[in-house]
């Protein structure tokens, strides 16, 4: 079974160019194809016509890397819950549908070309957080450190963040709080992350502000759009950790 679709695609020649929505017919698309495979099929036709193909990010196509960041019909990664763009299949659409495809919209994610955005701001936040610089030993030695299951589960769930940016794209303030809180929580929750916990939280939040992300709206669009279903409870934890760290910093400077 195949689908005939109408695509409304954002095309932008470069960072300084003026973008626009272009209409493209996608015919005879197999329902077993993934969303990115559908774009591959369309690109083959565009290349055969001697035109510039649609540029979009992708890598693993297994929902792991977070590269496939597209806004589909106004929703980051599509309306499917807990799903990345590359995991969306064409069987979720109907014959004759019109599909709007745009990049993630945020000032901190400038468009490079077509559907590709620059998410270096996320890399800068992670770099600001630093690393755990205590000696942890080999894997068997690390396993000897007792960690309560509740803490290990929280850290593991936070660590599943793939840094795709859907949380930012879904927030009307383009807040990165869910991303930052997840990246901080997966280190700060574990015993190995405690020595630098305060420094890490202060550095990451301040770098987030420096990158131009907005304030949290407390409306949980980020949690709803997250393909890894990361809980907004991490944001509350980050706020508490930041308040404590800021007070300690202020007292130390007196």
Query: Within a 13 Å sphere around the CA of 58, how many CA atoms are in the beta-carbon half?
Result: 17
Which pLDDT value is given to residue 142? 64
Within the chain, all domains assigned CATH 1.10.1060.10 are found at 120-252
Which pTM does this prediction carry?
0.93
pLDDT in tens, 52-87: 999 999 999 999 999 999 999 999 999 999 999 999
**How much is the average pLDDT of 106-126?**
97
| SS3 call for 112 | strand
Is 167's pLDDT higher than 70?
yes
Is 158's pLDDT higher than 80?
yes
Within the chain, all domains assigned CATH 3.10.20.30 are found at 2-113
pLDDT in tens, 169-198: 999 999 999 999 999 999 999 888 888 999
**7: which 2 tokens?**
């695509």
CA atoms of 180 and 185, how far apart (whole Å)? 8
Is 139's pLDDT higher than 80?
no
Which pLDDT value is given to residue 122? 98
| CATH C-level class of 120-252 | mainly alpha
Q: How many other C-beta atoms can be found within 10 angstroms of the C-beta atom of residue 53?
A: 15
**69: which 2 tokens?**
């960041």
The answer to whether residues 178 and 144 touch, using CB atoms and an 8 Å cutoff, is: no
Q: Across the chain, how many H-helices and E-strands are there?
A: 9, 7
**How much is the average pLDDT of 244-254?**
93
CA distances from 216 to 79, 126, 162 (A): 22, 19, 20
Which pLDDT value is given to residue 253? 86
Indicate the pLDDT class of residue 135, thresholds 50, 70 and 90: confident
Fold of 2-113: Ubiquitin-like (UB roll) (3.10.20)
CA atoms of 48 and 128, how far apart (whole Å)? 45
Please report which helix (H) or strand (E) contains residue 102, including its range. strand 98-103
Strands (E), 61-164: 70-72, 75-76, 98-103, 111-113, 116-117
């Amino acid at each position: 079974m195949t689908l005939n679709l109408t695509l409304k695609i954002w095309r932008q020649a470069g960072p300084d160019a003026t973008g626009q929505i272009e209409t493209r017919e996608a015919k005879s698309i197999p329902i077993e194809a993934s969303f990115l495979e559908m774009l591959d099929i369309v690109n083959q036709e565009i290349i055969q016509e001697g035109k510039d193909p649609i540029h979009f990010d992708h890598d693993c196509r297994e929902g792991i890397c977070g590269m496939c960041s597209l806004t589909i019909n106004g929703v980051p990664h599509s309306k499917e819950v807990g799903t990345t763009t590359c995991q969306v299949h064409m069987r979720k659409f109907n014959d004759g549908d019109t599909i709007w495809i745009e990049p993630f919209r945020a000032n901190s994610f400038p468009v490079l070309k077509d559907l590709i955005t620059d998410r270096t701001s996320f890399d800068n936040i992670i770099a600001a957080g630093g690393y755990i610089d205590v000696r942890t030993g080999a894997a068997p030695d690390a396993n000897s450190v007792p960690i309560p299951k509740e803490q290990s589960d929280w850290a593991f769930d936070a660590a599943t963040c793939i840094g795709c940016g859907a949380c930012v794209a879904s927030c009307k303030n383009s807040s990165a709080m869910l991303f930052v809180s997840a990246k901080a929580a997966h280190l700060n929750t574990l015993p190995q992350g405690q020595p630098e916990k305060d420094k890490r939280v202060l550095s990451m939040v301040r770098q987030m502000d420096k990158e131009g992300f907005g304030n949290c709206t407390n409306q949980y669009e980020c949690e709803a759009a997250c393909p890894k279903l990361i809980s907004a409870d991490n944001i509350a934890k980050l706020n508490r950790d930041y308040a404590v760290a800021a007070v300690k910093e202020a007292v130390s400077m007196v």
